[in-house]
Amino acid sequence: MEFKKIQLTKQNTLTVVYKNADSDTITMVGANIVHKDLKRAFRDLVPHLVLLTEQRECVNNSLQSLKNQDVLDDKSVYRRYSVMEVSLGEKEVEVSMSGTRILDRGDVVGIDSPKLNVEEDEHYEHLDDLSLAIDNLKYETKQYIEQKKWGLKEGTLNFGEAGDPFKDVKPGDVPVAKIPAPKGKGAGSRPVKSRNGKKEKAKVA
């Protein structure tokens, strides 16, 4: 399986273009929500997108300091940036990323990284880390396609094992409701007071 494109949709499903063992190009449009591990694999590429596109957050910040930012912090790169698509060139060596950035005014703009060779690009010093992140994304994508590793799985009911509740019911039969008799002393009667104040038992029909 040689990947050409891995895209996370707005509905949190996955669209993948890849070549199979016969070199046929396959486009898979997933209908299931992606697993949290796959979303994390996309998120791990965010610091690289920031550095490769020379955003303001990369000033005085190393790759490690960007990776260590708290995802819950409003100023975190993980809150402002997202990677939505990874494109891979021949033999999965050439890589480019597409994502978004949220501006201070609230608008969302698209960002595309330059295409680089993850084996020998001389302008980016974090090739090993980027290559590992891409490999992790490809692994989780294969899990999504081949192992059905999804965020939400539709449950199935095996009606064959449940049996037939109407198996012994014949046409025209009227179900009989069985009501258990009251338990305890004095069941079927209740005490009432007579006019002289003495207690008597009154039968309950």
pTM of the model: 0.72
Question: Dihedral sign, CA of 66, 67, 69, 75?
Answer: positive
Q: What are phi and psi of 202, to 5 degrees?
A: -105, 130
Determine how many CB atoms are found less than 10 A away from the CB of residue 84: 17
pLDDT tens, position by position, for the chain (205 residues)? 899 999 999 999 999 999 988 889 999 999 999 999 999 999 999 999 999 999 999 998 999 999 999 888 888 999 999 999 999 997 888 999 999 999 999 999 999 999 999 998 989 999 999 999 999 999 999 999 999 999 976 554 455 555 565 556 566 655 555 556 655 555 554 555 545 555 555 454 4
Closest CA relative to residue 61, chosen from 75, 74, 72: 75
Contact present, 54 and 32 (Cβ < 8 Å) = no
**Structural contact between residues 19 and 5, judged by C-beta atoms closer than 8 angstroms:** no
Cα atoms found within 13 Å of the Cα of residue 173, Cβ hemisphere only: 9
| CA dihedral sign, ordered 101, 68, 95, 40 | negative
- Domain chopping of the chain, boundaries: 2-146
User: Is residue 150 within 8 Å of residue 35, measured between CB atoms?
Assistant: yes
